[in-house]
């Protein structure tokens, strides 16, 4: 059996890569399972995997490292009930130091399982940070972001389809200087062939190759996580005139525009409309999106926002957007659940240095 861990910042494309990989492997008759992870509980991506029919488990309320025993139990439960050949475990995008706190413990406690770690980075965002010198993130968030890349032995530069040849060339040069010792893979996770190459690389990594644990200052790492606001919200939208879906989409646009107008760096702003359509924005994503919608008297919307600001500020911004949309579209929006917080200080259960 194999466990492929995925790390890397919010919105870098981990879930997309797992979904594509499971499709590719499914065509080959390989049974896969997935473990999702987040500081929150009501997650867009967990719902999507369920909808795909992928056997899945969740580690919620904190990262894998701080909930190692829960991760272990979820792996055991997947193995016992589903017998997958491969488990993909996606770590929450604000987490780093995974080699010391997850990969090495897994190799110690499950020596019979082949375990790998791939760290994902959004190529366009990385180009903005390393080549353009964009100052998107506050210092401790930047520290966390680059610590994730530093510990990668397998670094996936994702979303290469969004880079033009000039940008790709510049990025390759910088990466060669900074991460020349890592295996750097340029990928489009929406593309089957590209995903196939990643899966081949995962099979080639020698099992005895154990990456080095990071040297890391937990106070700065913890401060970086605490600079990010987490907000999860479930909403029900109603419109007697059939405008519920349209209202939901306008609300999504409204929230995105408010966040960008305030210049809050977006980690990941994700929406799930009616339990099936994922609409997501990251620091690098295009400002517009299109989605086919039908008239409906009611709609549901699940929101997972991870944004560099205070949770209270984010909550206020979203409440304002909701109020404005209700007035503008003459719809009614009922909030079914809300959870707004910043991640707690990381205290890993194990750390193998
Ligand atoms: N163009 C492009 N978009 C991608 C790629 N991988 C992911 N995305 C998009 O990036 C956003 C974040 O992806 P997701 O997999 O949810 O990121 P995660 O937070 O790391 O799991 C989504 O809108 C995806 O559709 C890629 O290779 N190319
Ligand atoms: Mg994800």
* pLDDT tens column, 104-130: 999 999 999 999 999 999 999 999 999
Q: How far is CA 16 from CA 6, 49, 63, 308, in A?
A: 11, 10, 19, 23
20 part of a folded domain: yes
190-211: per-residue pLDDT in tens?
999 999 999 999 999 876 677 8
**Residue 82 within any structural domain of the chain:** yes
Q: Which residues of 211-239 are buried (b: 16+ CB within 10 A; e: fewer)?
A: bebbebeeeebbbbbebbbbbbbbbebeb
188 and 216 together in one domain: yes
Computed over every residue of the chain, the mean pLDDT equals: 96
What pLDDT score does 285 carry?
85
Query: Both 121 and 213 in a single domain?
Result: yes
Kindly state whether residue 144 falls inside one of the protein's structural domains. yes
> pLDDT digits over 65-86, tens only?
999 999 999 999 999 999 999 9
State whether 285 and 167 are in the same domain: no
Q: Which atom of ligand 1 is nearest to the CA of 12?
A: 20
Using the 3D structure, point to which of 175, 204, 223 is the last residue of a domain. 223
Q: What is the pLDDT of residue 210?
A: 77
> What's residue 211's pLDDT?
86
Residues 210 and 282 in one domain: no
pLDDT band at 290 (very low <50, low <70, confident <90, very high): confident
CATH value at residue 336: 3.30.70.360
pLDDT at 294: 95
Residue 138 lies in a domain: yes
Which residues touch 257 (CB under 8 Å, ≥6 apart)? none
Count of domains for the chain: 2
Stretch 239-252: mean pLDDT, rounded?
97
Q: Are residues 91 and 166 in the same domain?
A: yes
Look at residue 206 in the predicted model and tell me its pLDDT.
Answer: 76
Tell which atom from ligand 1 comes closest to the C-alpha of 281. 23
Report the CATH number at residue 111: 3.40.50.300
Distances (CA, A) of 238 to 126, 148, 320, 347: 40, 42, 18, 43
Q: Is 11 in the pocket of ligand 1 (CB under 6 A)?
A: yes
* 10 pocket-lining for ligand 1 (C-beta < 6 Å): yes
Which ligand does the CA of 8 lie closest to?
1
**Residue 70 sits in the same domain as residue 146:** yes
CA of 15 to the centre of ligand 2 (A): 4
pLDDT at 99: 97
Residues 249 and 309 placed together within one structural domain of the fold: yes
Do residues 157 and 10 share a domain? yes
How much distance in Å is there from the Cα of 242 to the middle of ligand 2? 32
The residue segments making up the domain with residue 125 are 2-223
SS3 content of the chain, % helix, strand, coil (to 5): 40, 25, 35
- 137/219 same-domain check: yes
User: What whole-number percentage of the chain has pLDDT above 70?
Assistant: 99
How remote is the CA of residue 283 from the centroid of ligand 2, in Å? 14
Q: Tens digits of per-residue pLDDT, 55-69? A: 999 999 999 999 999
Answer yes or no: is 284 within a domain.
yes
Any atom of ligand 1 within 6 Å of the Cβ of 39:
no
Residues 131 and 271 in one domain: no
Token reading at 333: 């929006």
Domain boundary (223, 240, 274) is at 223
pLDDT of residue 208: 63
DSSP 71-112: HHHHHHHHHHHH--SEEEEE--TT---HIIIIIHHHHHH-TT
pLDDT at 326 over 80: yes
Could you give the 3-state DSSP secondary structure of residue 218? helix
Res. 316: pLDDT tops 80: yes
Q: Is the pLDDT of residue 186 over 90?
A: yes
* 352 belongs to a structural domain: no
19, containing H or E segment: helix 14-27
Among residues 223, 250, 268, the one where a domain terminates is 223
The reply to whether 122 and 107 lie within a common domain is yes
Angstrom distance (rounded) from CA 79 to CA 103: 18
Q: How many CB atoms lie within 10 A of CB 196?
A: 15
Is 64 part of any domain? Answer: yes
**Between vectors from CA 149 to CA 19 and to CA 195, what angle results, nearest 5°?**
25
Around 252, how many Cα atoms within 13 Å sit in the side-chain half-sphere? 29
Whether residue 267 has its Cβ less than 6 Å from ligand 1:
no
Q: What is the pLDDT of residues 137-173, one digit of tens each?
A: 999 999 999 999 999 999 999 999 999 999 999 999 9
Which of the four pLDDT bands, split at 50, 70 and 90, describes residue 44? very high
**6 forms bridges with which residues in the sheet?**
90, 118
Instruction: Name which residue sits closest to atom 23 of ligand 1, judged by CA.
Output: 280
Start-to-end CA distance of the chain, whole Å, equals 25
Order of all β-strands in the sheet with 183-186: 56-59, 32-37, 86-90, 2-8, 114-122, 154-158, 183-186
Q: Which ligand is nearest to the CA of 282?
A: 1
Please tell me the residue having the least CA distance from ligand 1 atom 6: 13
pLDDT confidence of residue 96: 98
Q: Of the bound ligands, which one is closest to the alpha carbon of residue 289?
A: 1
Pair (207, 270) in one structural domain: no
Question: Is residue 347 in a domain?
Answer: no
């Amino acid at each position: 059996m194999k466990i492929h861990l995925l790390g890397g910042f919010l919105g870098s494309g981990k879930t997309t890569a797992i979904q594509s990989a499971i499709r590719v492997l499914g065509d080959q008759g390989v049974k896969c399972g997935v473990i999702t992870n987040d500081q929150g509980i009501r997650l867009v991506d967990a719902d999507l995997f369920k909808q795909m029919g992928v056997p899945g488990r969740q580690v919620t309320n904190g990262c894998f490292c701080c909930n190692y025993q829960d991760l272990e139990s979820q792996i055991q439960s997947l193995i016992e009930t589903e017998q997958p050949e491969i488990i993909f475990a996606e770590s929450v995008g604000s987490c780093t130091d995974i080699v010391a706190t997850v990969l090495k413990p897994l190799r110690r406690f499950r020596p019979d399982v082949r375990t790998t770690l791939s760290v994902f980075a959004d190529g366009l965002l990385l180009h903005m940070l390393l080549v353009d010198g964009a100052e998107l993130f506050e210092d401790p968030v930047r520290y966390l972001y680059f610590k994730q890349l530093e510990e990668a032995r397998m670094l996936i530069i994702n979303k290469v389809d969004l880079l033009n040849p000039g940008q790709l060339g510049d990025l390759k040069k910088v990466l060669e200087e900074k991460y020349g010792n890592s295996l750097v893979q340029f990928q489009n996770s929406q593309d089957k062939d590209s995903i196939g190459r990643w899966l081949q690389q995962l099979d080639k990594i020698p099992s005895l190759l154990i990456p080095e644990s990071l040297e890391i200052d937990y106070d700065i790492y913890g401060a970086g996580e605490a600079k990010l606001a987490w907000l999860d919200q479930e909403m029900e939208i109603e419109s007697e005139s059939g405008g519920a879906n349209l209202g939901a989409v306008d609300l999504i646009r409204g929230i995105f525009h408010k966040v960008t107008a305030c210049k809050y760096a977006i980690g990941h702003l994700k929406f799930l409309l009616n339990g099936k359509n994922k609409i997501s924005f990251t620091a690098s994503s295009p400002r517009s999106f299109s989605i086919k919608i039908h008239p409906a008297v009611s709609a549901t919307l699940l929101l997972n926002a991870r944004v560099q600001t205070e949770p209270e500020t984010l909550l206020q911004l979203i409440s304002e957007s909701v109020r404005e949309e209700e007035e503008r579209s003459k719809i009614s929006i009922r909030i079914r659940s809300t959870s707004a917080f910043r991640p707690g200080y990381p205290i890993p259960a194990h750390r193998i240095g």
